[in-house]
């Protein structure tokens, strides 16, 4: 009885041989690709490590040849400074094991640290291959070595062989990491691949079978293989195909947007992070005076504040973009605007007309961010000779908020782009004006969440006018 139920359950989840084959081959193909990527990754890293070791060994052999010579069958050490280095005497992180032997295999000279190994092999087979790079294992350690001829000064011909060896610990560690990663992750990957393939195949196999059946019927009716779906089921399949294609198109656009956003975030965060790293390295390089430490800490604090500001703005943008409805809190726009101008000591730089008792529905903190960003931008781009103009009024049941500057202006082609995250105009970049490119994006996100609109006009003779329109409310 149990066996019969198990078979029925199996057939329910795996309705056809095609279904089973799709799951099997899709899962198998993905696993093969993963294995190939692992193999490619391993080979590429291993080759890079070997090239790095080869360069180190070549460099060190050249240094050894400068202090060691070979004359009439004898090795002459002209300077022991090189051989007395820690890497030649002890087992360090990156030691060098030196062997000098003649073509008969007789050892003429070794470095002091060779004594830690009972049987340290030397290569007698490849002595005639100049600059040969080889490897062997000693006590589970991977050793990479290079051999190079030592010229006999009396004859001008190779008289002995220099074999210089070192550990390949990075390669062993890398291999172990790959093995450990696969042992830990591969079972979950296999299960995920199987489940995802099972779901996707089962989700789409039924409508595909219906389409195939319809195609067979059309073929039997000799309609020149034209597939015409007439019943509701086939119509839904066609809608599903169309919807899926549209969905994929939206996903591609979204991925491109995410990719561009990620690049911009990385670019904006990289600069302060690089400054932080450089300043920390400066402090750690050597002991610093108290004044230097204070100066560095102040700089680190400034860069940290910059990072915090960027992250806070991104969080506010994300929050406002997720809002489905505006906040229902009633706020006094007139008073908030006057407070912002007064608190930030902008009275001497701003000419303003603010009608009293203008109210909005929204978040007070977010509205203050809008005011601060627009006014700060206007002041930043304007000359000191002319004041920035700010207006707030009610007109036709709309609240109109206007900020005018006399700065560098915005080209027409950039007037829509400036509301994108991290976008900065070419004029700003060329003039070296600082900024993150997030302010106007934040402004538009907040305005949209408050069911408002924002537009841009050119000021005359120079500058820009930002016009914000919000739904007005009346307080009796």
Pick the closest to residue 138 from 82, 84, 95, 87 (CA basis). 95
Contact (Cβ atoms closer than 8 angstroms) between residue 161 and residue 105: no
Token pair listed for 228: 């015409």
Q: What is the mean pLDDT of residues 63-69?
A: 89
Radius of gyration of the chain (CA): 37
Contact (Cβ atoms closer than 8 angstroms) between residue 28 and residue 197: no
Which of the residue ranges 7-16, 126-135, 242-251, 431-440 has the most confident prediction, judged by mean pLDDT?
126-135
Q: What is the mean pLDDT of residues 320-346?
A: 74
Q: What is the mean pLDDT of residues 147-154?
A: 88
Share of the chain above pLDDT 90, in %: 5
Question: Lowest-confidence range among 122-126, 262-266, 305-309, 327-331?
Answer: 262-266
Residue matched to tokens 């990719």: 259
Token pair listed for 410: 């915005």
- Higher local confidence (pLDDT), 62 or 429: 62
Residue 203 has pLDDT above 80, yes or no: no
Could you please report the per-residue DSSP string of 257-290?
HHHHHHHHHHHHHHHHHHHHHHHHHHHHHS---H
Dist CA 50 CA 44 (whole Å): 10
Give the chain's largest Cα–Cα span: 113
Specify the pLDDT at position 230. Answer: 47
Dist CA 184 CA 40 (whole Å): 20
Q: What is the pLDDT of residues 257-268, one digit of tens each?
A: 555 555 555 555
Residue 122 has pLDDT above 70, yes or no: yes
Could you please report the per-residue DSSP string of 316-351?
HHHHHHH-SS----EEEHHHHHHHHHHHTT-TTTEE
**Could you tell me the domains of the chain?**
1-43+176-214 (no CATH), 69-173 (3.30.450), 235-319 (1.10.287), 325-471 (3.30.565.10)
Dist CA 184 CA 179 (whole Å): 9
Q: What is the mean pLDDT of residues 134-144?
A: 82
Q: What is the mean pLDDT of residues 292-321?
A: 67
- Higher local confidence (pLDDT), 120 or 326: 120
- Higher local confidence (pLDDT), 219 or 464: 464
pTM (2 d.p.) = 0.40
Peptide bond into 461 cis (omega under 30): yes
Specify the pLDDT at position 392. Answer: 92
Sheet holding 350-354, edge to edge: 350-354, 388-395, 398-404, 464-471, 453-458
């Amino acid at each position: 009885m149990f066996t019969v139920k198990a078979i029925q359950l199996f057939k329910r989840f795996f309705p056809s041989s095609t279904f089973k084959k799709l799951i099997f081959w899709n899962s198998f193909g993905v696993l093969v690709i993963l294995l190939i990527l692992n193999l490619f990754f391993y080979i590429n890293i291993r080759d890079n490590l070997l090239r790095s070791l080869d360069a180190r060994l070549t460099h060190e052999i050249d240094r050894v040849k400068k202090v060691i010579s070979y004359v009439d069958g004898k090795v002459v050490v002209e300077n022991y400074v090189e051989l007395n280095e820690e890497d030649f005497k002890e087992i360090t992180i990156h030691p060098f094991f030196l062997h000098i032997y003649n073509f008969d295999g007789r050892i003429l000279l070794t470095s002091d640290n060779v004594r830690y190994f009972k049987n340290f092999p030397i290569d007698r087979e490849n002595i005639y291959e100049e600059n040969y790079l080889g490897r062997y294992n000693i006590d589970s350690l991977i050793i990479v070595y290079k051999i190079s001829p030592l010229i006999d000064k009396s004859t001008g011909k190779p008289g002995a062989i220099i074999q210089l060896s070192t550990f390949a610990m990075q390669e062993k560690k890398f291999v172990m990491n790959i093995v450990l990663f696969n042992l830990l992750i591969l079972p979950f990957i296999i299960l995920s691949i199987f489940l995802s393939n099972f779901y996707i195949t089962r989700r789409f196999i039924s409508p595909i079978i219906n389409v195939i059946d319809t195609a067979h019927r059309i073929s039997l009716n000799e309609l020149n293989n034209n597939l015409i779906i007439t019943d509701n089921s086939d119509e839904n399949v066609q809608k599903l195909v169309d919807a899926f294609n549209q969905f994929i198109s939206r996903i591609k656009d979204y991925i491109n947007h995410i990719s561009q956003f990620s690049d911009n975030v990385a670019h904006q965060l990289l600069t302060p992070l690089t400054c932080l790293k450089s300043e920390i390295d400066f402090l750690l390089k050597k002991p610093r005076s108290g004044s230097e430490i204070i100066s560095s800490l102040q700089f680190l604090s400034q860069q940290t504040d910059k990072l915090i500001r960027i992250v806070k703005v991104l969080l506010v943008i994300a929050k406002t973009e997720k809002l489905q409805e505006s906040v229902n809190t009633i706020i006094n726009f007139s008073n908030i605007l006057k407070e912002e101008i007064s608190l930030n000591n902008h009275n001497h730089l701003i000419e303003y007309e603010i009608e009293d008792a203008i109210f909005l529905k929204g978040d007070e903190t977010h509205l203050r961010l809008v005011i601060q960003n627009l006014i700060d931008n206007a002041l930043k781009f304007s000359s000191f000779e002319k004041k920035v103009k700010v207006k707030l009024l009610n007109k036709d049941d709309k609240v109109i908020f206007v900020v005018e500057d006399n700065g560098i202006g915005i080209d027409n082609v950039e007037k829509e782009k400036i509301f994108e995250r991290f976008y900065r105009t070419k004029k700003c970049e060329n003039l070296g004006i600082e900024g993150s490119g997030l302010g106007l994006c934040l402004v538009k996100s907040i305005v949209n969440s408050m069911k408002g609109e924002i537009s841009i006009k050119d000021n005359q003779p120079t500058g820009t006018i930002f016009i914000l329109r919000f739904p007005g409310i009346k307080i009796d």
